[in-house]
Amino acid sequence: MTTLSPLGPNTPRIALIGECMIELQHRADGSLQQSFGGDTLNTAVYLSRALGDKAQVDYVTALGDDSFSDAMCQSWAEEGIGLEWVQRLPGRLPGLYCIQTDANGERRFLYWRNEAAVRDCFTTPAAEPILAALADYDVLYFSGITLAVLGAKGRERLIQTLIEARQRDARIVFDNNYRPRLWASQEEARAAYRSVLPHVDLALLTVDDEQALFHFADCDAVFEAYAQIGTPEVVLKRGAEACLIRCDGEAFEVPAQKVEKVVDTTAAGDSFSAAYLARRLLGGSPAEAAEAGHWLASKVIQVPGALIPKE
């Protein structure tokens, strides 16, 4: 498998796999604003907006049979996201998190997710047809958080599906999103990441997460490690700094957009990833894709919460 090629004449199918949670935004006056968010879901929404009718974007997760889960599904449908592979597990609930932001827009997350329905996403009888269907998708997207919340059995089943899909020429996209508190140990996380990375075509990495998990000395060390793995396309996201890209042996550096007032950095990386992937699938170069990613991220960080209103 080489780098991402443009979408073909038929409507391609893209599946994003992960967790969406109830989001609470803690405001300065002490009030809470409720919405929904999660790394792969945020990317799914922005990807669906970017591609429109040029692709079918589906979300794969497990929710409960409660009113919050109902509202999630309704909001995803309104964004044009397919719900065919969203399981609804009786008596279960989605996870919940609260965002607290400081004066500079940097955020702190508080989570309640240990009993979230997504933990059984790939361990139920209903998961069998979902996993079989995923092997026939054109693009599969998941994250380090996906790997963590699925647990060992669900993770193993997902990895096998990714391998089968790639053998059928699917493109596998991975966002590293390492969250230490979701893992029993750093060793467990490293083992899980190393089991999937050889099967990834596009790695969308946050440099801080790479250094936290693998203790790389610098960006060059990150690129060297992924070159040894054989990942064709690697993007290093560095917040307000330029992103760095290595694609089939070529190197690119693309400056970030300047923003005067940062309100909330939630979903900055998720939105960048969505815009980058969309532009690549539409035939854009890595540099053009990074410009699109920086542009969207610059809009997202000027608005509270993960998902900004549609323009």
Beta strands across the sheet bearing 56-63? 86-88, 56-63, 13-17, 139-143, 171-175, 202-206, 233-237, 243-247, 250-254
Helices (H) and strands (E) in the chain, counts: 10, 13
Say if CB 99 and CB 36 are below 8 A apart.
Answer: no
Cα–Cα distance between 245 and 287 in angstroms, integer?
Answer: 8
Alpha carbons within 13 angstroms on the beta-carbon side of residue 298 total 15
Residue 139: beta bridge partners? 14, 171
* Number of neighbours of residue 276 by Cβ within 10 angstroms: 34
Query: Which tokens is 148 given?
Result: 């963590």
Task: Report the catalytic residues.
Answer: 270
Owner of token pair 């090629």: 5
Cα–Cα distance between 123 and 166 in angstroms, integer?
Answer: 22
